[in-house]
Amino acid sequence: MKPGLDMQSIRVSSDPAVQYLLRLGDTCLILAQRLGEWCGHAPVLEEDIALTNMALDLLGQARAVLTRAGEIETRGHDEDQLAFLRDERDYLNLTLVELPNGDFAFTVLRNFAMASLLRLLWEQLAASSDTELGAIAGKAVKEARYHRQHAADWVVRLGDGTEESARRMQDALHRLWLYVPEFFEADAVDEYAASSGLGPRWADLRDAWLAETTAVFDKAKLQLPPEPKFRSEGKRGRHSEHMGYILADLQYLQRAYPGGVW
């Protein structure tokens, strides 16, 4: 291979099946990257290990889904090329997962929101018309169930904890809430996935997600913020200002040493 050739960014297919998988895979990938940043910084050693365990679970899910996306795309892109060589606009993760970790309250609240969503998704994806994706989902759902339980416990502990922890959780919920509508925005990609049996419309998960998260927020004595007017659009490739910095971290090595392996 000519030096520098594979440093160039790859473009991905606009095939809705590929886009549907990239939304899922990228969401796992970027959240894994964020959680990895806690390594060595969590409030206690035990939670440090728990957060990085979750990061590794998410990374494993991202690898499997990106690999499958590459296979369906049939342009010969593997998981590494998809993870490291796309431009920002071609990443289709939810905006929420690219936001900085903030404090521990925001971290656990985001984990809870995401694990609740991913658990619902994986449960439905287990019955996907794509048997490969179904198998990935069958394994991932067990991980997501644990992530959800672990995060929900923290949400209740901190929300219904001290004055300071309650204030931080409530602030975190206000911040997080701005990015929730994006989860459930309907579009042609979801429509295709539903009609082909690849997976559910994310919009169809909204009621179940709201019911189970608000039950935990109630228990945590957190007040639900009003429905925001703002709409984030990470799923369509339009990201916040934080995304470029993550990609710089994530991609540096592959761009500097193309094809470099462990």
Torsion sign (Cα): 190, 250, 60, 100: negative
Taking the C-alpha atoms of residue 22 and residue 93, their distance in angstroms, rounded to an integer, is 7
Taking the C-alpha atoms of residue 97 and residue 104, their distance in angstroms, rounded to an integer, is 14
Residue (34 or 86) nearer to other proteins, CB: 34
Least Å from the CB of residue 62 to other proteins? 19
Torsion sign (Cα): 155, 140, 179, 211: negative
Partners of 145 in beta bridges = none
Least Å from the CB of residue 50 to other proteins? 4
* Residues 129-148 close enough to bind other proteins by CB under 8 A: 146
Residue (44 or 188) nearer to other proteins, CB: 44
Residue 169 near other proteins by CB under 8 A: no
Residue (15 or 47) nearer to other proteins, CB: 47
Q: Out of 22, 50, 83, 133, which residue is the one contacting other proteins (CB under 8 A)?
A: 50
Residue 53 near other proteins by CB under 8 A: yes
Residue matched to tokens 């672990």: 150
Contact 172, 103 (CB under 8 A): yes
Contact 196, 214 (CB under 8 A): no
Residue 47 near other proteins by CB under 8 A: yes
Residue (6 or 160) nearer to other proteins, CB: 160
Residue (161 or 258) nearer to other proteins, CB: 161
Taking the C-alpha atoms of residue 63 and residue 172, their distance in angstroms, rounded to an integer, is 29
Where does this chain bind other proteins (CB under 8 A)?
A: 44-47, 49-50, 53, 146, 149-150, 153, 157
